Amino acid sequence: MVDSTRKVGAGLAYHYSLLDGDTRNHDFRISLGAALAEGVSLGVTGRYLDYVGAPTANGVRGSAFSGFTVDVGIALKPWSWLALGVTGYSLSNPDTALSPLSIGGGIGIIPIDTLHLVADTVWDVTSFADGPRARWSGGVELLASRVPLRLGYTYDDIRLNNPVHLITAGLGYIDQMFAVEAALRQEVHGGSQTTLLLNLRYFHRLL
């Protein structure tokens, strides 16, 4: 749930996950973003995590954790065709493998209004004994009238076993009042998992 003005935006989110039939995790988030200057924005997200599972022991970080952490990001748009961003995740370094201290960055290029080219990376700083590992992603979106067409690729080395390569394709319909978007994500190397994603949005404008 998000509300915004031209200079300030706020969001409230809750994420619940059920793993292995009996492991229940809760993630509450409150976000605030503001335009500091022309082309410069700052965002902060406070998060309360309530994760269950195995505790940290013998140098191996477990999943169990209950407490607060924070994410902070800054977005820059020096020109109309270029967007840059840097984000720090879980900056308090909570003692859980489900929300590690991570650093991310991204770039977006907009050669024309209907074509977006993006690339980003996230580095997990704390989960692996051999040092930080990264996830790299890139994608393209073409907006054909009200229908967005998307194609993306991800190389994910933030896995406990082996790196995974994924391809994602999506399309949707975006109106002034609502949006419906769907995507298919397929692991093509290092795994075989198939994921279907559906996104429904409603836009309400206050007078």
Each residue of 76-88: pLDDT tens digit? 999 999 999 999 9
Prediction pTM value: 0.87
Taking the C-alpha atoms of residue 67 and residue 27, their distance in angstroms, rounded to an integer, is 10
Average pLDDT over residues 190-203: 93
In the chain, what percentage of residues exceed pLDDT 70?
95
Does the pLDDT of residue 205 top 80, yes or no?
A: no
| Segment among 22-36, 39-53, 88-102, 182-196 with least mean pLDDT | 22-36
The CA-atom distances, in angstroms, between 87 and each of 103, 106, 121, 129, 137 are 6, 9, 10, 23, 15
Each residue of 148-158: pLDDT tens digit? 999 999 999 99
In the chain, what are the domain boundaries?
Answer: 1-106, 132-207
Each residue of 122-148: pLDDT tens digit? 999 998 888 899 999 999 999 998 999
Q: Are strands 164-174 and 8-19 parallel, antiparallel or unpaired?
A: unpaired
pLDDT band at 6 (very low <50, low <70, confident <90, very high): low
Cβ atoms within 10 A of the Cβ of 29, count? 15
